Chains A and B, each alone.
Chain A
């Protein structure tokens, strides 16, 4: 109880500070790369993220399998995320198709909304996904923040 309070307080302070001093960091249109809390990695760079999403990297550093989850509806969040990776959703799908045909793995699971994404990631060990920063809660861990346009490019 005490710990929870502390955490809540810290988050509040962070949120206020962030809201006050780093508005861009927590802006409405930034995208957060989220993962199941059991995932050992604390952060991911772009290369690593791309390797995971194309299926080149299939396991986390602790050897547990990676479960990639894709957001099905097109929108600002999805666009920002794929732009950051440098591949459009359709191009990414080609990669997945080839992988599937070569027998190297199935395409990612898909969810219909950001809420579902957060729930699914929180519920699936080794899962990784992306949602808008606003949708993030402490049921998942954040591995990266992608700024729309400026922060997310290249």
Chain B
């Protein structure tokens, strides 16, 4: 198992244990060095220096002793002699005490291995000489007691003096040795202190580095993956399901990362499925709407066909009904005219009758008769024309898809809406002489009718309607423009929608333009509208020539 795959807790514990070990090492080292330092200082203060001091004391004491011995020789009185003796006893006591101290220290030093061979040799030499000096002193005091002054002086200045000088030298050497040793111990102490300080510093720096490393590792192991994870979660929350995290380790975070990746994959699959379903639903909905539109169109066409059929039947009936009496009126008027003509011929050929006519008002009556027959003939011709237009509009007598003149259709329709226009609206015709096109003429007539009726209704009061035709190689154009109230821009895109109307309830069905649109579409043409509120509206129809 690799380190990165250990649990985070274990990783942290390892880090802490490392730091703890280092710090413990630092402390241990410091303690060890301090112990050495203390030992060195103790050696100096408890061993070397006290020994040096004790020896120095002895040195002084022995010098005093010799002084007093000299003074004892020359003591004048018994009292002075006793005083000197007491002084010597005190010195001997002091020497003994100092020697005790020294020997005690020596015992300790031997245990601590602080007693050098040189010192041992020196002390042994001193002890031997001191022993011998005291032996000589016995003799010396014997001489003084017996007042053998010359011999006493000789002893003191002879062998005793040599001995004294020698053991004094030994004592000085001992002091020197101890001083040297204490200096050495001081140097050791300083070394120990330096070492302790250096080791402590190094370990402190090392601890800092390891701590920094631990922090760095912690950040790398925990903080960065957590941040990545949190960023990834934020992305997922915003809807980005493509996020995948790099799988770096097998610890808790690694497992969390794996879980997260599995989660995003699952979410992605779920969302893909949802989207798929949504798409299917939308497609079906669109299909449904299309079907509905087709259904509505079919219904409209059906309604229109039904209307047209009814209208056709009605027109057929009316035309048929009117045609016969009109024929009778027409022929009667003709007969009456011809009768008047014959009557005039008769009158003109007979002088008596001519005189009679000139004498009476007969001529006047004949003129009235003439006039009335002409009026009757004209009126009946007009009736016949209207009936013909009606029949033409309905095209009941013609085949569905045929070649027909657009301009003729427009004229027929204009005749039928004449009563709407009356004297209120002026019709301006600008026909370009468009050749006949293949079409359903009755349906196109219905379109013209719708446009013209709409124009009439848009014009409140007096106005003008312009009917214009044009053509090129491929297309025939019909433009119907009015000077009406216009269509607001908001409504303009919806004018061809089924059921859209600006007229009040009962005025229109709202189907007129929609039906017109469908008819033009059926002819593979287009119908478009431009309008300015307050100025008027212009519809443009574009129809293809078919071959």
Contacts and interface: CB of A to CB of B under 8 A. Distances in A.
Interface in B311-364: none
B130 to A, nearest CB: 5
A93 interface: yes
A74 B141 contact: no
B96 interface: yes
Contacts of B529: none
A114 to B, nearest CB: 19
B137 interface: yes
Given A88-B127, A101-B85, A94 B134 contact: yes
Contacts of A101: 85-86, 88-89, 92, 141
Of the candidates B96, B135, B141, the one having the most CB atoms from chain A within 10 angstroms of its own CB is B135
Contacts of B276: none
Nearest to B128: A74
Contacts of B141: 97, 100-101
B134 A93 contact: yes
A107 interface: yes
Interface residues of B, number: 19
A90 B128 CA distance: 7
B138 interface: yes
Contact of B89 (A88, A91, A98, A107): A98
B131 interface: yes
A96 B89 CA distance: 11
Contacts of A95: 96
Nearest to B93: A98
Contacts of B142: 106
Contacts of B95: 94
A42 to B, nearest CB: 32
A47 to B, nearest CB: 19
Interface of B is mostly: helix
A89 interface: yes
Contacts of A106: 138, 142
B236 interface: no
A100 B86 CA distance: 11
Contacts of B85: 101-102
Contacts of B53: none
Contact of A97 (B86, B99, B138): B138
Contacts of A97: 88, 92, 134, 137-138, 141
Contacts of A98: 89, 92-93
A100 B137 CA distance: 10
Given A100-B141, A107-B138, A93 B89 contact: no
Nearest to B138: A107
Contacts of A88: 127, 131
Nearest to B141: A100
A95 to B, nearest CB: 8
30 contacts: A74-B128, A74-B131, A88-B131, A90-B127, A90-B131, A90-B134, A91-B96, A91-B99, A93-B131, A93-B138, A94-B95, A94-B96, A96-B134, A97-B134, A97-B137, A97-B138, A97-B141, A98-B89, A98-B92, A100-B138, A100-B141, A101-B85, A101-B86, A101-B92, A101-B141, A102-B85, A102-B89, A106-B138, A106-B142, A107-B138
Interface of A: 74, 88-91, 93-98, 100-102, 106-107
